[in-house]
Amino acid sequence: MKVLTFKTIEEIGAAAGKMFVDVVKANDKAVLGLATGATPVPTYDYMAQACRKGEVSFKNVTTFNLDEYCDLPKEHKNSYYTFMFENLFSKIDVDPANVNFLNGNAPDAQAESDRYAEAIEAAGGIDIQFLGIGRNGHIAFNEPADKFTNNAFKVHLTQSTIEANSIYFDDIPMPHYAMTMGIGSIMRAKKIVLVATGKAKAEAVRTMLSGDIDPHCPASILQAHPDCTVILDEDAASLL
């Protein structure tokens, strides 16, 4: 794994954003794996700015998001669908027909998982995948567990994740279930960029980079990926 440390959030957004822009410049039909949460926002700002300046066009890209809450209408202000349109898709020239999400309200989670796996495969696989990391080492919503997962599945979120994300829910209680891409789906991406910022991520970053590959720190599997770049601020890197 390549580890890069920067001082400011803007530098981090530029470093990760440029990796996405470069992939799209090299292949305008690239397939992008995207995340939500606080971490990717500066990266999405960089991508939006590059598009606005005419440096890159996302017109022909296809996107797949990592996860979506269950039992939450797609149009709710806290759905990851809404997040992506507010923070990226409304600011770039992506074709809304080419953006893909797991359906957290699908009646049959296994059928939904199969549909997503087939769609990713039909698109040619993910060229570059953005990841954040949870305080407990989760990637997407793969929570610490006894074994690594493969394709998408319905997950019961851990207390740590519920505490971290419930600050965003001021009208209804945060859902306790989500549909998430599995570890196998993430590891099949050709290139991975994981970004972590802030002291609260320092322990998870240390375990990811220097612990054993262990499903109790799901992000540790990235040690086995052939092209994974980890981009940190000084706080997230403080225990290395």
Q: Which residues bind ligand F6R (CB under 6 A)?
A: 35-39, 66-67, 132-134, 138-141
65 is catalytic: no
Smallest distance from ligand F6R to CB 153, Å: 14
Kindly tell me the number of DSSP H helices and DSSP E strands found in the chain. 7, 10
Measured from the CB atom, is 60 or 223 closer to ligand F6R?
223
- Given 68, 112, 127, 143, the catalytic residue: 143
Burial degree of 128 (CB within 10 A; 0-12, 13-18, 19+): buried
Smallest distance from ligand F6R to CB 99, Å: 14
- Given 138, 142, 165, 233, the catalytic residue: 138
138 is catalytic: yes
Range list of H helices, the chain: 9-26, 41-52, 80-87, 109-122, 159-165, 183-187, 202-210
Measured from the CB atom, is 55 or 86 closer to ligand F6R?
86
Measured from the CB atom, is 36 or 207 closer to ligand F6R?
36
143 is catalytic: yes
Measured from the CB atom, is 50 or 66 closer to ligand F6R?
66
**Which tokens go with 30?**
């690239």
Nearest to 92 by CA among 61, 47, 130, 122: 47
Distances (CA, A) of 56 to 24, 117, 122, 220: 7, 28, 24, 33
- Given 136, 165, 225, 233, the catalytic residue: 136
Hey, which residues are catalytic here?
67, 136, 138, 143
